[in-house]
Each structure stands twice: as structure tokens, then as C-alpha cells.
Amino acid sequence: MTMMMRAQGSTMAWLVTLSLGFACGGDPPGQPDETSSGGASSGSAGDPSGDPSGDPSGDPSGGTMTSAEDTTTADSTTDADPPGSSDDTTGIDDSCGEPSDVNTLRLAHLVPDRGPLDLCLGRPDGCLVGPLLANAGQAAVDYEQIAVVEAGVEADTTIRWVEAGAADCETPAAALNEIVADLTGDPKTLMVSAATGSEPVVLTPLPEALDPGRVYAVLIHGADAGNLMVAPDGDCSMVNPFFVAWADVQPGTIGISPNGDVPYFNSAPPIEDYAIMVCQQDQKLLTRSVTLSPGDLSTFFFFGTGSARAPYGLVECQQSMQSCSVL
């Protein structure tokens, strides 16, 4: 009852804020490129039946990947770190040698009815590093959770999800394909979800360089649902397109704002305790109250199947992605 009363009382404030925000122009200098890899792109959802890079069967006998424990150096006089060791200065596992880059990876687990997961990364020479979360002393990522880890990455990195508690990287998690993606550059979000089934995706949300006088938000569609629209709470069939935050968001992708065709919502502040709705055509799937702070980036993950067992929901992560919570 409180949420719906707040929704009606705040819709006009939202509309005025949006109107002022978009009138001021919204795009910060150096508009980022939104990219995605794996099963989905900004244009379409992933095809779970597609043939991923690497061995889709996950059979370690295929010989395409080897763990760090199985690799040796030809120069026996070189002082090598023991398997699974970390560089003393960076804390990054260098058991496969020095990586091309070190990046922040956000691991999103949005698949109902499956247990916790960890992640392994493969180098172009076939050497595997991981499981990353276990090696970093972190718990595996469970449903509705987002984990953050620093890792050595390459332009062609093989991404292999493994079950929590795996002693090594040899056995992929069941029903999750391997993909190859460029994990260098801006921080990456690696997601498994009901939106793309067995095909994981890699997304590049808005980089963390923001105008401190504006508010920013990113929407990632990880639910078993059709294309989405997000707008101030009200009637899904009677929304003024000018006030839509995201429109026609396809499963497994980042939402594109119709106001500027950019992969984020951008407005003048304040946006505090505002009620928004998530619609699939004329059907309202979800209503939540959100607060966006100036100079901050909120990333919203829409997840679930709409069933009683896995209802639709939103996970919000603040700019650093170190703090995430289910709304």
C-alpha cells in the first residue's frame, strides 16, 4: 500500500525531473560504447542452441584447455610461482604467466533452480586460471547475487563457469556453454541468466567516469520475459514515450535509452524514492521504488521467470558494484 501511494505521488516529480534532465542534454563527454559478447548482443538475445567458442560439451578430454597445474616451463632454471599462486604486487593469479591486462569482473548469477557458481578463465595458449572466487577467498555466487573479482584477462579469453567447490577448472558447470570474449578495457559484467539459458553473456556497462551533477542508471535484462519498457509507475498502455527510461530492452542485453540512444538513463537530480514500473507490452511485471544519487551509477538487473518459485525482481548495484541488494 505504501509503495503504490508513493508511486502516484511521485510520478509527476519523476516526469518533471526527467523533462529537466533531458532538456539539459544528458550525454557526458566521451559517450561510452556499449558492447556485448557471447550469446547476446545489443541487438538480440543469445541463442542457447548456438555453437559457443571452445568445446560446448565441456569435455576436458577434448584437449583444448589445460589447467595451470598441468603446465610446465621449458626453462627449469626460471623461478616460477607454484600453481595457483598470486603476484605479490597485484594479488592476481599469475600461474599461467603474466596476463595482458587486469580488469574488474562482475559475476551475475540470475538462473533460478541452480546452485552457486564460480568462474575459470582460459588463456589463448589453453592454460586455465581459477576458480577465481575460491582463489580470492570469496564465496561462490548464488542466485540473485552479484560477485566482484579482479582477474588477469586477455583479448581472447575463454570463459568457463564451474560449480561451487570445484577443486580445479577441468569440469564445466552443467548446461552452461563456454564462450570466448574480450575481457580487456572497461569493467565487464559476466552473466548467466534465465534470459539466455545455457549461453552466458559478457556486457560492458557505462564506464565509471560520470558527471557529478547528474544521475545515471543502467538496466540489464536477465529475466525469462520478452522485450521490456521501464517508465514511471502508472498504466503500461498509457505511457508518454518522452518519459520512458528504457524501451524495447531485449533479453540478455543492456537497455538503450530512447532519449539519446545511449545504454544508460541520465537525468538531472534528484531522483529519490521514485516508483518505477517494468512492462512487457501492456502488462506490468514489476513496480519498485528507486533512489539515484548524483554522480553515482546504479546498475539494475531484472531477473526471474514470473513464476511463484522465481518471481520477477530487481537487484541494484551501486557504482563500485561492491554493494548490491535485491529491491
Q: Can you spell out the DSSP letters for 179-221? A: EEE---SS-EEEEEETTTTT--EEE----S---TTSEEEEEEE
Q: Are strands 313-317 and 324-326 parallel, antiparallel or unpaired?
A: antiparallel
Dump pLDDT digits (tens) for 18-72: 333 333 334 433 343 444 455 443 333 334 344 434 443 444 334 344 444 444 3
One pLDDT digit (tens) per residue for the chain, 327 residues: 333 333 333 333 333 333 333 333 344 333 434 444 554 433 333 343 444 344 434 443 343 444 444 443 334 333 434 434 344 334 467 778 888 899 999 999 999 999 999 999 999 999 999 999 999 999 999 999 999 999 999 999 999 999 999 999 999 999 999 999 999 999 999 999 999 999 999 999 876 567 888 888 999 999 999 999 999 999 999 999 888 999 999 999 999 888 777 888 888 887 889 999 999 999 999 999 998 888 888 999 999 999 999 999 999 998 755 678 998
CA-atom Rg of the chain in angstroms = 21
pLDDT score for 236: 96
What whole-number distance in Å separates Cα of residue 150 and Cα of residue 129? 12
Strand order across the beta sheet in which 246-249 lies? 246-249, 228-232, 271-280, 283-292
First CA to last CA distance, the chain = 16
DSSP labels for 30-57? SPPPP-EEET--SSS---TTS--SS-TT
The verdict on pTM exceeding 0.85 is no
Contact 147, 132 (CB under 8 A): no
Contact 134, 118 (CB under 8 A): yes
Helix (H, G, I), strand (E, B) or coil at 64: coil
Helix (H, G, I), strand (E, B) or coil at 14: helix
pLDDT score for 145: 96
pLDDT score for 13: 37
